[in-house]
A and B are shown apart, each in its own frame.
Chain A
Amino acid sequence: MGFYRTHVLVCAGAGCISSNCKAVHRSLVTELQNLELSQEIKVVETGCIGSCDLGPVIVLYPEGVFYQKVQPEDVKLIVEEHLLKGRPVQKLLYQTNNEVFLKYEDINFFKRQVRIALRNVGIINPEVIEEYIARNGYLALGKALTEMQPVDVIETIKKSGLRGRGGAGFPTGLKWEFTMKASGAQKYVVCNADEGDPGAFMDRSILEGDPHSVLEAMAIAGYAIGAQQGYVYVRAEYPLAVERLAKAIEHARDYGLLGNNIFGTDFNFDVEIRVGAGAFVCGEETALIASIEGKRGEPNPKPPFPAVKGVWGMPTLLNNVETYANIPPIILKGADWFAGIGTEKSKGTKVFAVAGKINNTGLVEVPMGTTLREIIFDIGGGILGGKRFKAAQTGGPSGGCLTEDHLDLPMDYESLTAAGSMMGSGGLIVMDEDTCMVDVARFFLEFTQDESCGKCTPCRIGTKRMLDILTRITQGKGVPADLETLETVAKTIKQTALCGLGQSAPNPVLSTLRYFRSEYEAHIYDKTCPAGACKALLAYKVKPEFCKGCGLCAKNCPVNAISGEPKKVYTIDQQLCVKCGLCAQKCPFKAIDYR
């Protein structure tokens, strides 16, 4: 391996790819070749660095200088100024209102994070196994195989307090123990990488940015429970993750880290990829197992749990990607180290995918118990456009919302459940004053209704009825009895649906009803949408005190619903108005009111 004076890390996460990081990478490589610097400066394509809205981003080491929104035409400047003359390019540095940040580690978004699951993501080239090994990769597997008995491994995981990162938060060590103790001719280790929650992308980021960490953990799990075969079930929507994982499996086999007699022991373990085919319900474990077996991905009643009867009817250990990514550091650094991070019942860290109406979107990994305020305001940089924080949705379509009153809530499994939401996979969608909570509930119900597999009646019909009612309310056709009906149907679905999808589908409705009941009531009784989002309930009106009579609104109105004379107040004909909002957009004096 050559010696390089500088490493230029180019983020090749999904966010940066869509903002064209590939072109930046190409011009960096060409520029360095032209100047014959390729032997001195190495360009590395990494996994997601996390700050998706700043893309394309690059980090230059050893200094750790962070450049954001880099365009291909900026590359020449970076090479000539920074790499040749040692002068940072000011205009590409990250800045807030009053400060310019030179280094990656000084930026609040990164500074406050504790990266365990994401320890290598954005730092190594995921396609080069040596880079993973150089960061203590496969050392934990070596330690487990040569220094620990399977029961020691399970004991360590139990003692660490690690809980499932995919949704329900079941203690991981217990799951491993159950599967180890279950009897079966064969056992299987499965990684659930069917990350379907709209708004969550941490699993994809780990698979794309550090696939070996998952493979290593699965092998450790195989050793602990006595399995020789693993499956990673990945969504078809993540082709890059599938590609990188396939490469990682191949490299690990070449190095003898997967296959027979791993580390010279008699332990054999191999991993196969199973690609999903676009069904959200397959994130549910029994449905996922059916899908691995090549069937329709319909869930089955539990018990029997997969630990007893899973893939091909054999004991199966099923964990999510982020859960696995935590395993190698726990084995290496010990259970006490991990248990020392987080809260009493929620140990370690959690990765949140922060999105919505927030300044810094992206992936953040913080200790369990970090407050919502710290995540949204300190790390996330506050609400977009200086607007007012209204709510944050956690747990995706299975979760609920948190309000201003919850800003100081420690984010851990128990607190979130007590607040009527859930940790789920860690999606965190921030909403501001312009977001209508009834419409949000309707949006999630539309999603779960669409994704309901149809096997059980409560989910198939119940979510459809709830969606009908919510749609009616947002259209201004709600009746007073609707709220009670919604609650009754929601509770019935929760109690009777077959699987987690159905049981949790009513959560967004129950949660918004709990915290934003007045918004529902405004839609039903006053036929207004306080957030100004539900089109049917809006009435566009000219505010006479602001109107200067310029006529721009009338000129732009697609249906000629606006009339008036120059320099006099214009009026909007409510019969003709189609509420397209163009007039409010075009008015230079903000004289059109629609709430």
Chain B
Amino acid sequence: MACNCHCNYSAESDDRYQKLENIIREYKDKPGALIPVLHQAQQLFGYLPKDVQTKIAEGLNLPLSEVYGVITFYSFFTTEPRGKHTIGVCMGTACYVKGAAQILKELQEQLSVEIGGTTEDGLFSLTVTRCLGACGLAPVITIGEDVYGRLTADKIKDILDNYRENN
């Protein structure tokens, strides 16, 4: 089964599934194994897609509903793949009037993703945030923990290229 993160892996050729089985085997008979297994699985895959959830449920002999219930309860677990860098576009008032919408549009075009989406290469996820309180620097975006202020649409490409090159 191909996973849905566009990474072109299939279960057969992907040694991560073998590793997952090893993790499950290691924890199988330990009480309270589910959360430690989910942590390791997420580290392995970057997120917890449905086929991984199914494998864990089967391996630990738990209903899939319980596995899903635990995953969605804890904010640390995600069922959607996330990019290496999360971009947050401030949509506070000051940023909005200073052209955040254009910045967002430029980012969407350059990355070919919608809000909440992740690029095909898995490098960037695009999100929209509430006011970051950096109105004096408007418009502002954050990439991971880096803050970029006083942006114009034409600066976006260089900023993104920097992350692409350092990858």
Contacts and interface: CB of A to CB of B under 8 A. Distances in A.
Nearest to A297: B73
Given A236-B39, A275-B35, A578-B94, A296 B73 contact: yes
A558 B73 contact: no
Interface in A295-333: 295-298, 312
A340 interface: no
Interface of B: 31-36, 38-39, 66, 69-70, 73-77, 93-94, 97-98, 135-136, 138
A585 B70 contact: no
A372 to B, nearest CB: 28
Interface of A: 236, 274-279, 291-298, 312, 453, 535, 558-559, 578-582, 585
Contacts of A298: 73
A22 to B, nearest CB: 16
Contact of A275 (B36, B69, B75): B36
B35 A291 contact: yes
A292 B76 CA distance: 16
Nearest to B60: A294
Contacts of A312: 31
Nearest to B42: A277
- Identify the interface centre among A274, A292, A296, A312: most chain B CB within 10 Å of its CB: A296
Nearest to A275: B39
Would you call the interface of chain A mostly helix, strand, loop, or mixed? Answer: loop
B74 A294 contact: no
B77 A277 contact: yes
B135 A277 contact: no
A275 B32 CA distance: 12
Contact of B97 (A279, A293, A559): A559
30 contacts: A236-B39, A274-B32, A274-B35, A276-B74, A276-B76, A277-B35, A277-B74, A278-B74, A278-B76, A278-B77, A279-B73, A279-B75, A293-B31, A294-B31, A294-B35, A295-B34, A296-B70, A296-B74, A298-B73, A312-B31, A453-B73, A558-B94, A558-B98, A559-B97, A578-B94, A580-B93, A580-B135, A580-B138, A581-B94, A585-B136
Contacts of A295: 34, 66, 70
Contacts of A279: 73-75
Given A294-B33, A581-B135, 14 more contacts: A275-B36, A275-B39, A277-B35, A277-B76, A293-B32, A558-B97, A559-B97, A578-B97, A579-B93, A580-B97, A581-B94, A581-B136, A582-B135, A582-B136
Contact of B70 (A294, A535, A558, A581): A294
B39 A294 contact: no
Given A559-B97, A581-B135, A278 B32 contact: no
Contacts of B31: 293-294, 312
Contacts of A535: 93
Contacts, number: 68
Contacts of A296: 69-70, 73-74
Given A558-B138, A580-B138, A292 B74 contact: no
B36 A274 contact: yes
Contacts of A453: 73
A578 B91 CA distance: 13
- Identify the interface centre among A274, A292, A580, A582: most chain B CB within 10 Å of its CB: A580
A448 to B, nearest CB: 15
Given A559-B97, A580-B93, A294 B32 contact: yes
B39 A580 contact: no
For the complex of A and B, 7 pairs with smallest distance between CB atoms: A277-B74, A580-B94, A278-B76, A294-B34, A278-B75, A277-B76, A294-B32
- Identify the interface centre among A296, A453, A558: most chain B CB within 10 Å of its CB: A558
Contacts of B98: 558
B136 A277 contact: no
Contacts of A585: 136
A559 B138 CA distance: 12
Contacts of A275: 35-36, 39
B39 A277 contact: yes
Contacts of A274: 32, 35-36
B31 to A, nearest CB: 6
A559 B33 CA distance: 56
B134 to A, nearest CB: 11
Contacts of B39: 236, 275, 277
A292 B75 contact: no
B60 to A, nearest CB: 9
B132 to A, nearest CB: 13
Contacts of A293: 31-32
A277 B38 contact: yes
Contacts of B77: 277-278
A419 B34 CA distance: 43
A236 B76 CA distance: 8
Contacts of B38: 277
A297 B32 CA distance: 12
A235 B135 CA distance: 33
A453 B39 CA distance: 20
Nearest to A292: B32
